[in-house]
Chains A and B, each alone.
Chain A
């Protein structure tokens, strides 16, 4: 009884403004694992769960190709076209490698140099499907975009070579190498060249992320301001 009385008093003391016991029930409901169930259902039903990532995956690649094809109409300046297409290709490479691969198909590849100076290429595939994992539509869009664009750039290479417009050759070669690098990396991930070393992963990403999460945990346990569980 003393414990119950103490328990009844304790939450009110911790709450800032002392709301009625109704809020106590709400706090418990927030703490339960049913948080956001409607959003989760909507997420599960949606065919595209990462609309921004899907958009950007295709946007940079397609813009680069469209710009290359139509640069004679838009501007007379070779340099402006060259720089624009090059920047689009670089942004595409970065976003496909670092963001959309992670979000759309759960694959990631990167290069790592250890202390001996030897370089290792790491390929990683996510095994545990989460609620916000990718759908089939997204995966299809990802792979189609990944495969079709290098093919188009290879066609541009041959057309440039045979029409002897050699000043574009450097750009086309850059485009082919950037896009083929991503294609190769992701195919390697997919086909199981998985050298996932969790120790190394935790060293790379854990050292930056873990203190943040640990401090969040500590604050959650200590202050009870958000009674919610972690991210999912």
Chain B
């Protein structure tokens, strides 16, 4: 046993074991080592991806990060928060804002699907879910506008507050449209860009209209 140095044994076995495990095709197996760790890694990776996309929307540069790894978590969160903030505002809410909540939801998702279909029919190279992802994430400025509007409405419902809200919503509407156009218009041939941009314009216009005409009871 003195002849068997620790060094030689531990060099042999780990190196053999690890050299024979191919990293590429069996990398899913490596995740099986513990139950907790890889799940946490997966969650953190997805959360970081979502956070990066939010940052990209606020500072729209021409980057392909939003386009490459799409995910629909951000749009879901934004849609739910926007719908929550918008409910309970219109004239006839005899229910507890039920129809309005579902309405906002349907408008956002159905509108995004229609725009995506439109851009695909015009021959765009972007994939279905990528386009949904971009349109959903670019609702972020309008969600911020909704938040600001609700805060302004807490202060008062007058002409001044209306003008402030108009300016804020208008600015955020422009930001949303520019951000999504920056990502989506590139995938189109040049003579079709306007045909793709105007539905996006309409989509965010409708959302902005819903935000601007929101008056709490």
Contacts and interface: CB of A to CB of B under 8 A. Distances in A.
A113 B25 contact: no
A4 B11 CA distance: 17
A30 to B, nearest CB: 9
A98 B14 CA distance: 30
B101 A79 contact: yes
Interface string B96-125: 111101100110000000000000000001
Contacts of B162: none
A170 interface: yes
Interface residues on B, range: 35 or more
Interface of B: 1-11, 13-15, 17-18, 21, 23-33, 35, 39, 42, 45-46, 67-70, 73, 76, 80, 84, 87, 95-99, 101-102, 105-106, 125-130, 187
A76 interface: yes
Given A106-B28, A227-B6, A228-B14, 13 more contacts: A11-B7, A24-B1, A25-B1, A78-B96, A79-B98, A79-B101, A90-B73, A94-B46, A119-B127, A205-B27, A205-B28, A209-B27, A227-B10
Interface stretch (A62-70, A124-132, A139-147): A124-132
Contact of B6 (A11, A106, A229, A230): A11
Contact of A4 (B2, B23, B106): B2
22 contacts: A5-B2, A7-B5, A7-B7, A10-B6, A11-B7, A14-B7, A25-B1, A28-B1, A28-B6, A78-B97, A94-B46, A99-B42, A102-B31, A113-B127, A117-B127, A202-B25, A206-B27, A213-B30, A221-B10, A227-B10, A231-B32, A232-B33
Contacts of A167: 98-99, 102
Determine chain A's interface SS by DSSP, over half rule.
helix
A55 to B, nearest CB: 11
* Across the A-B interface, the 8 shortest Cβ-Cβ residue pairs: A202-B24, A78-B98, A231-B33, A7-B5, A119-B127, A198-B25, A8-B2, A11-B6
Contacts of B102: 82, 167, 170-171
Contacts of B187: 117
Contacts of A3: 3
A148 B102 CA distance: 26
